[in-house]
Structure 1
């Protein structure tokens, strides 16, 4: 099934979502939405899929 929404988070947005999950004091639904956004983030996928190799 193709992705329905394309998500590109800025560095600040990504850090905010990660800290929200790490602290654990937000409601469960909010944490779930944050996890979904982080998983759907295309900019992070490009970084992790294609790491630079130093020769």
Structure 2
């Protein structure tokens, strides 16, 4: 019985990790957030950052 409950719980958790690939990003999700480029092809880089303000100004 415990194995079945564990199996069902793990199945439910794993289905929450699935992505449909059709995720859309809304304006509100980008505003007032800062994005920093940390690496390119596994190599650490310094410098570039991007942030969006009100009215989607960069």
Q: Which protein shows a greater Rg?
A: 2
Normalised by the length of structure 2, the TM-score is 0.31
**Would you tell me which structure has more helix in proportion to its own residues?**
1
Kindly indicate whether structure 1 or structure 2 has the higher relative contact order, using CA contacts under 8 Å at least 6 residues apart.
Answer: 1
**Would you tell me which structure has more strand in proportion to its own residues?**
2
